[in-house]
Amino acid sequence: MAAVLLLAALCLLPGSGALTMGGISVPALKIRGDVAHLRCGYQEHDAEGAGAINVTWFKDGVQFYHAVNQGLNVDITLSDVPGVEVDKEDSGFRSLTLKSVKVNTAGKYHCVASSAKNSVTSQEQSMLVIAPPTSDPVISGFREAIWVANGTLEINCTAGKSFPAANITWSVDGKPALTPGFGQCHRLNDQHNCWLPGRDGVLEL
């Protein structure tokens, strides 16, 4: 038994063809439409001894990328996963490129490298994809009327679709509004309409 354990240990020593994992590189934050570069940081100790190496990528535990080194060539197989669009021409063995990331590209990624000697798995790293508002905010609710001092003016701000929901702040005459609780956004529907969260949803001027 001791001889078997010693042989197994020797197979994993540097220079024996074993693989080790140095970690991965996954961008933590991207904007919708960006390109994302991911890298699997495995290391080979004696490439000839390792033989063929397989690299597999997963998003939220689901495989979407598999690469095998075939001599000087890399054989890449892709699997359909929502939100993941691989740029095959710009991807290879140690790294891959995701093109035009979407909100649902966000998730936890990890890679696995394996050879005839052993298999190593990286830790998971998360990527978040944000989508800025699609249009400038629009203020509505003004009426053609005389404003009475200490009266009530009800106005509404509608922001373009975004993810996460837009955080709206207000100002009056170029100065931040100081009404308690004022200046926050509450999503009312899919259009991300916002209202004034002061008393009864109105701003008193």
Q: Which residue has the higher pLDDT, 139 or 12?
A: 139
Q: Which residue has the higher pLDDT, 19 or 166?
A: 19
CATH number of 20-130: 2.60.40.10
String of DSSP letters for 14-27: TTTT-EEEEEEE--
What pLDDT digit, counting tens, does each position of 122-160 carry? 999 999 999 998 888 888 876 655 666 666 667 788 888
Provide the token pair at 41. Answer: 């940081």
Provide the token pair at 157. Answer: 């701000």
What percentage of the chain carries pLDDT values higher than 70?
69
What pLDDT digit, counting tens, does each position of 91-130 carry? 988 899 999 999 999 999 999 999 888 899 999 999 999 9
Question: Minimal CA–CA distance to 54: which of 68, 70, 71?
Answer: 68
Domain borders along the chain are 20-130, 132-205
pLDDT of residue 170: 79
Amino acid in position 34: D
What pLDDT digit, counting tens, does each position of 163-192 carry? 988 888 878 777 777 554 444 444 444 433
